[in-house]
Amino acid sequence: MVETSNAKLLRTDRDELYYHPLGDLLFRMYQWKRLRGAIKRIVRFLEPDSFVTGTTRRILSTYHAVDVGTYSYGCCLTPGYLPRGVVIGRYVSMAQEVSVFRRNHPLDRLSLHPFFYNASLGTLEMDTIESFPLEIGHDAWIGQAARITPGCRRIGVGAVVGTGSVVTRDVPDFAIVGGSPAKIIKFRFSAETCDRILDSQWWEKSKHECIQHMKDMTTSLNDSESHPFL
């Protein structure tokens, strides 16, 4: 059993996350699949603050190959819900019933059935269709019941995916997309402001650092002459 994590997204997380004293034991017990349902319930009880639950994130990364940054929340924190290879940044808001698909059925083969491409069903030694990774950038917002298909490999920093949207291609930083298939409706800010936000990398700051500037964090950038993080 080897623990993995995405250093780019999670490098500052250890000091911000909460690990219950029993977390390490529960993490190790999670390797027994019959116990997983009970362990998930116990971890939720012991670490109820989903924004900073460390044991859940450790389980996700090691056993499910899904990395979730600090303060991100939603269905992404349910172990086994998202497919392997999904990486989620910090401060991401993910609503319920979001579906993520990382591969399609093979249209050019005799059969479309997963017996012939999915090794987990026991009919093959190895998968015969590639599963594509997905990165969801920091501070993105994924709306209720959005569908993310294999054609999308990246949802950008600060991007918004509308409720019920079907995302078939990459979403640029700070873009608002919606519809089926999802199309760009507009960008949240001007190109200059987007560049300033990306350069600032404010999402690497802790919640406590941000709270010290609550007035600025709760004011529209359009109404503010300056921001301490930009």
- Cβ pair 73, 94 in contact under 8 A: yes
Q: Pick the catalytic residue: 20, 64, 105, 113?
A: 105
CA gap 49, 46 in Å, rounded: 9
Residue 105 is among the residues annotated as catalytic for this protein: yes
- Among 23, 58, 57, 50, CA closest to 39: 23
Residue (of 121, 103, 105, 102) closest to 113 by Cα position: 105
Six token digits for residue 25: 């034991």
Q: At what angle do helices 54-64 and 36-46 cross, to 10 degrees?
A: 150
Terminal Cα distance for the chain, rounded: 42
Assign 21 to helix, strand or coil. coil
Active-site amino acid positions: 105
